[in-house]
Structure 1
């Protein structure tokens, strides 16, 4: 299909514009997505340059907790001090031996014909004391040089996360980590070390992974490190304040993010030619009913989970719903901080797994204020006894592919359609009660990935969403935080009882075939995408 001339296109716009009152220009002239169903999807179903990869993180993968000078992180302390808060009482001391087997695992990425691999740098492996003045661990520095070089030598682009939940324990003990504004300078120092060491080779940086998870699970519920919350919210918590600490932590995380981005842009970006962003997670929310209050509850729920961090980096402020509901407990940005936050990303990473129903709850918590109930929106995974979608191994994960498209449209309409990489997306199965062979042959993860890719393709070609790539969570079965080793998200099976042996699952073999098709320099798909883009840009200028 060739693009019509601009004159013809504008004439058609004028002719049909009044028909569609919701999107008066864009949706009338939309081009159908090139693939009609998931079975026909392949690499060429997506635009040229679209990146496919898999994701990992340091604490969940590396192991080698006490090897080569690594210092402890808050997750080392949390899992060893409170094994009862981990489903199987395990810890990440061994991870999946990635520190020793990274070459083997890089080959697995290559065998799937993937373009990229997402890793994170263990802050306490390179800076055991948390800051440069406390000493740089050269063995840690060299490990990441070797890992990045191994990826590049195999034609795989590294996407590098600077902080993926594993704050150095030294900074937690010294001043409370992200509860203190002192974290901003120390995080910036760590980020600068990463840029200086690896920026000549790394062209995609992610400042912080899931600040929502860090704040909500770590400081409101106490189920993630450092395990703080109000005791009435979780009796296992020895200290904390669920009414204030989550907001303080996210505030300092946002300031740390902006500080690192500004540093990168001022000192490194021009000559390193890289891009920098952040990875935010979001469960999409569907109103429980058609009532006005449930529709408003769904919007608030998204604001409190996603807008909490997306609004500041786009507009320099918190969502109005948070300001209204949280009041004086919500920290405020200075004018300078707000200015530094606005536009502090070249792309946005999105971690999407599932969708919930949201129902209005005007009561909040009877015991006191806390982040979890401040939104006055209750999450539910079923309606009238019917789940919103098939359930994975994790209680919170129901399959709802349409949610990822809804989220992309939310980004497009509310946050100016930023460049997006899906930095995590995946489905788990249980470790117990399922044999290795059953796990290897299980098609559910493959169907999950295909269904979500199909929705992303629709978001690109039918909605005009600016999506640049997709990373499956995860390359390997791994240590899944408070779930320990009880669930498996991997494209590859890890035999924990047999020397951590890796075996490709059904989903890994499917990915290898899916990506075997070359991403041609110019395809019919690309022409459709360009046509749609030109039409959308022309419409926006009217």
Structure 2
């Protein structure tokens, strides 16, 4: 854009008689008056790329740091230590023939009946593996850094804090598989003791299922070594409730096979030089709580069936959490109770149960186990920014957006404050917490986990917020705000991905400031990622050279640095989603991974963005 000096008086005094160019980034450029000179010189080809390799995390040379007593002592904190057992295979259609323990409420027949009731679709999907695969060394040829993008972050003066938590994230439901396999000789489905979950109903009949996905249940040793070879410091994963307790409820037996599996997984992470971060519930709610016949797809917050509002949910979740914490708290430094509970709470009762269950687990971890690690909760909320920050109506809409998505959980958990008035006046059955409840629930999170993938432009609906909030059948109820992806001038808010994510780094910085100054706890960016548009349709070399994803990650991390150093915001860390293309709840086209996954061969290939992100952070960590 060309601007005359008359339109920029401050610059005009310096650049009298010259044209001034204002770039799209806002910087001014004044062309040199000196004409170039042209000349000949000898020519030779040069190597433009310098070969560099990813720097792996160092192998530990000392014993594990411990954060709580080991299981032999921790189990004494349970009133009644649960019994353990294992189960065999689910044989569709042959339960009556093969079951010999029909009188055992938790035996093979009862366990098989759990799956019989789910009525799986396409359950004969075949995976490649049926046992744990031993790791092999990562060839150095896979660890060569890709060519740099021409434009990128150049400020190397700002460093991340020495204790900055940097790593990658995934969830069991989206990467593990080991849900349905076809054995040989007999057509059978191996469930390895896991009970059915919400995930078995989430995708429609014609959509991909989670039965196989990345087969991480069998390939975890190799996957962990690949992450360590790239220099990843923290590995965030989830443990499926239904694999630990197939029958879900207190008093039912624990699956010993699952206990041994995650025990070994955690040890593998530590042996590789990384640190584990564990989430207790990441979408895969046990079937017990979502078995309503009319539950067939992604629920909305007005749903009345299934979900966390079940009257047995709090006691059941706390019991499950205690089982997991007594086994693994000694070696895990960071815990997350719930992932994005807004999406699966379904209604106020469900959200209220999440708040109470989280607080009970936190008190058990801190006060009963006397653990010294960190425990928190993580939320979804694509930051609502007012369409016009100078318009009071839009600002009011943005405030309501944050209250409904975040304040519902965060007010009591972080501040010991009452549920927002907007929640109490909108959601059916909503009731205030008592003073005693607020004292117990308040300050029960050591960090504020947030998954800020993108930003959302917010304004008020036609007729206003009040009219929408009082009408449960209104299309925008219960949040009652218009959510868009274009700014007030008609431009997209950022570069668009395959899904809902737009590249919005400057809004991220504003968001981090809002969270830190509102809820007063260190902020953990617990997920952030970008599915490149149409990536699944590209040839492998083009999938690997994923510059838009690199732009997303490096822009976001640059704004994190500014937030820390220029805004005084305590950002505890950032976990990239995801370390591999995974199962996106029935969607095979939205590839969030920093590794390509070949579903046929189960081969993994590092993408450019993985190298770029690790290289960017590693170069800005004091210990590097």
What TM-score do the two structures reach when normalised by structure 2? Answer: 0.68
1:274 aligns with 373
Give distance in 2, aligned partners of 1:115 and 1:125: 27
| 1:261-304 per-position Cα deviation (integer Å, ceiling 9, x unaligned) | 11111211x2x421110111221122112321111111111111
1:422 aligns with 525
2:168 aligns with 54
Kept in 1: contact 2:424–2:432 (CA 8 A)? no
Aligned length: 445
Asked whether 1:303 is paired with 2:403, we answer yes
Quick one: higher RCO (CA 8 Å, sep 6+), 1 or 2?
1
Give distance in 2, aligned partners of 1:409 and 1:193: 37
2:496 aligns with 391
| 1:78-130 per-position Cα deviation (integer Å, ceiling 9, x unaligned) | 33xx436xxxx111111211001111111121122111000100101111011
- Name which of 493, 497, 502 aligns with 2:596: 493
| Correspondences of 1:440-459 after superposition (within 5 Å) | 440-459=544-563
Asked whether 1:283 is paired with 2:388, we answer no
Give distance in 1, aligned partners of 2:178 and 2:530: 27
Give distance in 2, aligned partners of 1:326 and 1:92: 35
Asked whether 1:503 is paired with 2:605, we answer yes
How far off is 1:321 after superposition?
4.4
1:161 aligns with 279
- Name which of 191, 207, 210 aligns with 2:337: 207
Give distance in 2, aligned partners of 1:368 and 1:511: 44
Asked whether 1:63 is paired with 2:177, we answer yes
- Name which of 133, 154, 159 aligns with 1:45: 159
Give distance in 2, aligned partners of 1:388 and 1:351: 18
Structure 1, unmatched stretches of 5+, are: 1-36, 220-245, 524-542
Give distance in 2, aligned partners of 1:353 and 1:516: 22
> Kindly tell me: are residues 366 and 465 of structure 1, through their superposed partners in 2, closer, same or farther at Cα, counting changes over 3 Å?
closer
| Larger helix percent | 1
Give distance in 1, aligned partners of 2:343 and 2:407: 14
3-state SS of paired residue (1:493): strand
- Name which of 434, 437, 452 aligns with 2:541: 437
- Name which of 444, 447, 450 aligns with 1:347: 447
> Kindly tell me: are residues 367 and 51 of structure 1, through their superposed partners in 2, closer, same or farther at Cα, counting changes over 3 Å?
closer
> Kindly tell me: are residues 370 and 198 of structure 1, through their superposed partners in 2, closer, same or farther at Cα, counting changes over 3 Å?
farther
Give distance in 2, aligned partners of 1:512 and 1:414: 30
How far off is 1:412 after superposition?
2.2
| Correspondences of 1:32-431 after superposition (within 5 Å) | 39-40=153-154, 45-65=159-179, 66-79=190-203, 82-83=204-205, 89-173=207-291, 176-215=306-345, 219=346, 246-268=347-369, 270=370, 272-289=371-388, 290-323=390-423, 325-326=425-426, 329-361=429-461, 362=464, 363-364=467-468, 368-369=472-473, 372-383=476-487, 384-394=489-499, 396-416=500-520, 418-429=521-532, 430-431=534-535
Give distance in 1, aligned partners of 2:399 and 2:170: 31
How far off is 1:507 after superposition?
0.8
Give distance in 2, aligned partners of 1:42 and 1:139: 48
How far off is 1:40 after superposition?
3.2
Give distance in 2, aligned partners of 1:257 and 1:43: 40
Structure 2, unmatched stretches of 5+, are: 1-150, 180-189, 293-304
Kept in 2: contact 1:42–1:514 (CA 8 A)? no
> Kindly tell me: are residues 485 and 318 of structure 1, through their superposed partners in 2, closer, same or farther at Cα, counting changes over 3 Å?
farther
Give distance in 2, aligned partners of 1:173 and 1:195: 27
Give distance in 2, aligned partners of 1:67 and 1:44: 49
Kept in 1: contact 2:458–2:483 (CA 8 A)? yes
Give distance in 2, aligned partners of 1:54 and 1:499: 23
Kept in 1: contact 2:407–2:420 (CA 8 A)? no
> Kindly tell me: are residues 448 and 431 of structure 1, through their superposed partners in 2, closer, same or farther at Cα, counting changes over 3 Å?
closer
Larger Rg, first or second structure (1 or 2): 2
How far off is 1:63 after superposition?
0.4
How far off is 1:461 after superposition?
0.6
| 1:34-84 per-position Cα deviation (integer Å, ceiling 9, x unaligned) | xxx9523679721112121000001001000143211111111333xx436
Worse-matched range after superposition: 505-514 or 173-182: 173-182
| 1:451-503 per-position Cα deviation (integer Å, ceiling 9, x unaligned) | 10111111111111111111000100001125x2221001111112x312100
Give distance in 1, aligned partners of 2:197 and 2:156: 40
Give distance in 1, aligned partners of 2:381 and 2:341: 11
How far off is 1:205 after superposition?
0.6
Kept in 1: contact 2:455–2:504 (CA 8 A)? yes
How far off is 1:318 after superposition?
4.6
> Kindly tell me: are residues 321 and 372 of structure 1, through their superposed partners in 2, closer, same or farther at Cα, counting changes over 3 Å?
farther
How far off is 1:319 after superposition?
4.8
Worse-matched range after superposition: 317-326 or 306-315: 317-326
